[in-house]
Every structure is written in C-alpha cells, then in structure tokens.
Amino acid sequence: MRIVSIVIALLVTIALYFFVFERDRLTNFAASDTPPSGETPDTAAQTESEFATPAQKTMGEAHPVSVVVRHSTAQLLANVVVVRGETEAAREVNVTAETSGRVVNAPLRKGAYVQADQTLCELDIGTREATLAQAKAEFTQAEVALANARKLAEGGYASETQILTAEAGIESARAAVALASRDIENLTIKAPFAGLLESDTAELGTFLSSGSACATVIQLDPIKLVGYAPEADVAAIEVGALAGARLISGPEVTGRVTFLSRSADPSTRTFRVEVEIPNPDFSIRDGQTVEMAISSAGLAAHLVPQSALTLDDEGQIGLRLLGADSRAEFAPVQVLRDTREGIWVAGLADEVDIIVVGQDFVKAGVLVAASFEEAPTAADTETQMETPMESDQ
C-alpha cells in the first residue's frame, strides 16, 4: 500500500508539472495535431497568426506582421523662429541743460507731441549780454593792438615777439566772443527730434544747472520690437528677414529684422534681436509684451500623425519605415512643428513609406505585411505656411 501511494503521488506531481509549466507547449501540440472541426490546417494556421502576440509575430518570419503604411512626399515648410520680448521706443533722450539759469517759459505737459528743434525750456539770459559785449570790445582792442605792432615792426621799432603776443591776444578775444555767444544759445533748450514728451518740461521758475533735466522725449514711430533668441535658433535669423508679431493686447503687426547681436548676453546666453515696424498713430506703446515669429529658410519636411512617432532601443525619437524586401526600418527624425493636422518632421528622404499603424509591434528587420492608406490632401496640409500665431487662431 505504501508503494502504491508513492507511485500515485509521483504521477500527480508529474501531471501538475506539465499542466502548470508546459501548458503552452501541450496546447500548441494539441492544436497542431487536431485542428478544430470545420477548419482545414491552412485555416488553423491563419487563425493562429491573427491571434498571436506581438512577441510571437516578431519572432516568426513565416508570419509577417500586418501594418498600415502611408506614402509621404516631402514638402517645403516655411520655418519660423519664435522669440518673445517687448516693444521699445526707437529713441529716448533725457534733454538736459548745458548752462545754468532760471526757466522763464511755461512748461509743456507730458504726452504732447513736439517737433524737432522746438523749444522745450528757455532760461533767463541774466548778464550774458554784457559778457558778450565785453568780449566783443576786447576783440576789437586786440585787433587794434595787432595792427599797431605790425606797423612798428615794419619801421624796426617792434620785435617779432611783440607781433606774436598781439596775435595770441586777438585769438583769445575771438574765443571769448565765441564762448559768450554759445552760452547765450544754450539758454534755449530744444527737442533733438520729433517725438512725444514722456515727462513735463521744467516748471516756470525752476533753476537748472548744467546737466539738469529739462524733459524726456521718446520717438515711437517707427517702434522697435526687441527679443532675445537662444543659441540654437540664432543661426536661422538674418537681418532683413520678415517678421510677424502679436502684442499681448491682441493686435498683429509685421516688420523686418534690423539688428541681430553678435555678442550673447552673459547671464542668459541669448542674442538680442530687433524688428522695426511703423507706428504712425502711436497705438503701440513702449514696454508692451510681444511675441515675434521670424521667418527663416524653408525646410523639406513630412507631415505625420502624432501617434506614428516611436522610440528605438537607444531612446531616439523617430519613425518606422517600410524598407526593402518588406522589412521594417527605423529612422530618427527632428520635430519641427506641432499642428492640428499632425507633426512636421525633418530628417527623412524626399519620398518614404511611413508605418502609421502597428509601428510599436515591429522592430528593424522584421518582415511586415503592408496595407497602404491614402496620403493627406493639399487642403489638409494648408497650414504648413502659417506662422505659429496664425495656427493658434
């Protein structure tokens, strides 16, 4: 009895082993020997291929993986560099006094438009007219002294040194006249260019010394859009390139790049970019936030569905392609732009067959059974020439 129990236990153990650990092998063996009723061996093999797991499919060359492929032709994509920044007045000057004196004219209020050379502040002349008259009298006296010295020199009664001294005296008197005249001219402080007053001019009765501020004048037409481009994008920007911009308040404007810095900002490692646009009605103010889209050279790109992107074993982003002999290939790509219709990518040949369904179930070199779908129409890819600001609307 004891031997019988041991034998039964061994048989049960062997049965459990095959049932638990060798179940798949037994099932496949039974399926290969006895196909289901109503099916031929070929039908059974086809059913097995349809319900096989991705791992089973990639291992078997006899059963290619079914995928959907799209034939894609490269198109010229208008590339843009997006830069964020702010508006900046074309010119801004703090107009200061060059001499001292008390303001004798009524002030102009901030916001007023002034023309070039328009008087902003006028200072009291004081005793400057008397100083100028004295300088002119000394100049006349120096001219007479020089003439007398020359006559005496002709008769042998004056030396060459006396003539040189008289000539130096006349030059000194001439300089004094010029300084007195210039000092009187500086009493009238004028606008250096046409623009808007950002501050009131100096109040009537205010004493201004040399260097004191009279007013601040800014020029808003044209106005500059200033942004900072990162190192990765600065090579794609050129002076003269067309640029579109959207202000934070909503209006959109266009202009051209007028300046691109050759030196990076030491703290941010970015490069200053300036775009000049007309602003005749002064609707754009200094210091407004702006987003610029600067056009650059177009790139050959393909429009693909977002779901078609995948990763290889090294973590590179790319696409699965249908290669030679109906085998899958992997191609790394560069993502250029994300739109409603899909993603624009670069780095592929001009014409490629992209696996858009089933790409995650195959690897490079795996045999595939491709079914082609229709490529997007021209209307679907119409947004390729839009700037990012246009595609957001």
Mean pLDDT on 137-158: 86
The candidate with the shortest Cα–Cα distance to 327, out of 297, 296, 368, is 368
Please check whether residue 257 is in contact with residue 243, taking contact to mean a CB–CB distance below 8 angstroms.
yes
Say if residue 22's pLDDT is above 80.
no
Residues 288 and 225 both lie in one domain: yes
Say if residue 317's pLDDT is above 50.
yes
Number of domains in the chain: 3
pLDDT tens-digit readout, 329-358:
999 998 888 888 899 998 899 999 999 998
Helix (H) or strand (E) holding 370: strand 368-373
Residues 289 and 227 both lie in one domain: yes
CA dist list (Å): 235 to 81, 239, 294: 10, 11, 12
Which of 299, 314, 335 finishes a domain?
299
User: Is residue 138 one of the residues assigned to a domain?
Assistant: yes
Residues 281 and 310 both lie in one domain: no
Residues 312 and 293 both lie in one domain: no
Residues 287 and 307 both lie in one domain: no
CATH number, domain of 319, equals 2.40.420.20
DSSP annotation of 327: B
Taking the CA atoms of residue 78, residue 79, residue 82 and residue 86 in that order, the dihedral angle to the nearest 10 degrees is -60
User: Is residue 132 one of the residues assigned to a domain?
Assistant: yes
- Beta strands 368-373 and 101-102 are unpaired
User: Is residue 254 one of the residues assigned to a domain?
Assistant: yes
Residues 288 and 341 both lie in one domain: no
Residues 295 and 320 both lie in one domain: no
The candidate with the shortest Cα–Cα distance to 331, out of 60, 106, 7, 72, is 72
Residues 357 and 321 both lie in one domain: yes
Percent pLDDT > 70 in the chain is 83
In the structure, what pLDDT confidence band is assigned to residue 80 with cuts at 50, 70 and 90? confident
The pTM assigned to this predicted structure is 0.57
Domain of residue 135, residue span? 125-186
Is the bond into 222 cis (omega within 30 degrees of 0)?
A: yes
User: Can you give the pLDDT at residue 375?
Assistant: 60
Residues 322 and 346 both lie in one domain: yes
Which of 254, 273, 299 finishes a domain?
299
The span from the first CA to the last CA of the chain, in angstroms, equals 88
User: Is residue 95 one of the residues assigned to a domain?
Assistant: no
User: Is residue 212 one of the residues assigned to a domain?
Assistant: no
User: Can you give the pLDDT at residue 258?
Assistant: 95
Say if residue 384's pLDDT is above 70.
no
Say if residue 318's pLDDT is above 90.
yes
Tell me which of 149-158, 229-238, 285-294 is least confident: 149-158
Residues 354 and 311 both lie in one domain: yes
Tokens 């009279």: give the residue. Answer: 214
The DSSP secondary structure of 234-300, one letter per residue, reads: HTT--TT-EEEEEETTS-EEEEEEEEE-SS--TTT-EEEEEEEE--TT--SPTT-EEEEEEE---EE
Which of 299, 327, 349 finishes a domain?
299
Q: Which amino acid is at 364?
A: A
Mean of per-residue pLDDT scores for the chain:
83
Say if residue 169's pLDDT is above 80.
yes
Paired tokens of 308: 């078609």
What is the Cα–Cα distance from 73 to 68, expressed in whole angstroms? 17
Residues 331 and 267 both lie in one domain: no
User: Is residue 259 one of the residues assigned to a domain?
Assistant: yes
Residues 342 and 355 both lie in one domain: yes
Identify the residue with better confidence: 389 or 318.
Answer: 318
Helix (H) or strand (E) holding 27: helix 23-33
Mean pLDDT on 175-195: 95
User: Is residue 202 one of the residues assigned to a domain?
Assistant: no
The candidate with the shortest Cα–Cα distance to 105, out of 202, 182, 184, is 202
Tokens 């050379």: give the residue. Answer: 117
CATH number, domain of 248, equals 2.40.30.170
User: Is residue 249 one of the residues assigned to a domain?
Assistant: yes
CATH number, domain of 135, equals 1.10.287
Identify the residue with better confidence: 256 or 13.
Answer: 256
Q: For residue 261, what are the contacts with CB-CB under 8 A and spacing of at least 6?
A: 271, 272, 273
pLDDT tens-digit readout, 221-244:
999 999 999 998 888 899 999 999
